[in-house]
Structure 1
């Protein structure tokens, strides 16, 4: 009887815990704003890029597909930044040093920020898996989520980005 009572109290306690639901960001809704520290010690705020097409890329140094796609993502950024594309790399690593080293080794030109506690990744965007990319249009609406590594140099992806840049 005592064990049953303890178990019942345990279950009731679990049911009454205040849990914040982790909701995945939905397409055609406003992108959740955030501010994260960049590798130069500054702060990057998503809403500060309103008016640009923003490509968020969530990755980590311990994820081989993430590391593999970074060079083509860097190429895309270099080719399209004058047209209004902003790539924001969001590193999920718990420590800054490996992120800084990899960004330097790959000569990444787009800003890289740190989401070490995965607050933006889990809590704000409700994402799982790596790499994950989120495309946000010039008005701040989420237009697309891409799960898995992408060849950012492929003609299909380049055409998609060009279309978003033209507002289609």
Structure 2
């Protein structure tokens, strides 16, 4: 009986691992649309930003690298929003209060939403790890997934974002 149970568990694990990559959003494919409420209670739909370059930043208050990159992401947003950059912060915290407090403390200007159940993060985008950023071009296609913290003010990142903003 025990041997059969172990075999069943191993079979299920291998099936889940083989399916997980299929769930992950793929480069050059349409970005899955979603609707989440921001910290002001306003519903934000990804589809509302078609025609703009959208940077989705998945993070949480309990992730030090996530928190560390937020100020530079905010600066990038402030510098390039007139050129068509939209940043949507998607916090994965189970509660709104710590997110609201951190966003206020850091004076984050771009919309921040809560994905407490990880419906967008895991179910729609198939992501793992934090922080993770997804760049969606003006036509709604996923152009890049960036895993890990980034200095959004580095010359390389700024050049990359400028290139996306120009449609290249």
1:124 aligns with 2:124: yes
Provide the residue aligned with 2:101 in structure 1: 101
Provide the residue aligned with 1:87 in structure 2: 87
Deviation for aligned residue 1:42: 1.2
2: CA distance between counterparts of 1:88 and 1:164? 16
Map 1:39-58; keep pairs closer than 5 Å: 39-58=39-58
Larger helix percent = 2
Q: Quote the RMSD (CA, aligned, Å).
A: 1.9
CA deviation digits over 1:77-127, x for unaligned, max 9? 000000000000000000000000000000000000110000111111000
Provide the residue aligned with 1:66 in structure 2: 66
Q: Which runs of 4+ in 1 moved over 3 A?
A: none
1:34 aligns with 2:48: no
CA deviation digits over 1:44-73, x for unaligned, max 9? 000000000000000000000000000000
Unaligned runs of 5+ in 2: none
2: CA distance between counterparts of 1:84 and 1:131? 23
Provide the residue aligned with 1:167 in structure 2: 167
Deviation for aligned residue 1:11: 3.9
Provide the residue aligned with 2:112 in structure 1: 112
- Higher-Rg structure is 1
Q: Give the length in aligned residue pairs.
A: 160
SS at match of 2:99: helix
2: CA distance between counterparts of 1:37 and 1:100? 13
Deviation for aligned residue 1:37: 1.1
1: CA distance between counterparts of 2:141 and 2:38? 23
Provide the residue aligned with 1:136 in structure 2: 136
CA deviation digits over 1:131-150, x for unaligned, max 9? 00000000000000000000
2: CA distance between counterparts of 1:52 and 1:42? 19
- Give TM-score scaled by structure 1 length: 0.90
Provide the residue aligned with 2:76 in structure 1: 76
- Give TM-score scaled by structure 2 length: 0.90
Unaligned runs of 5+ in 1: none
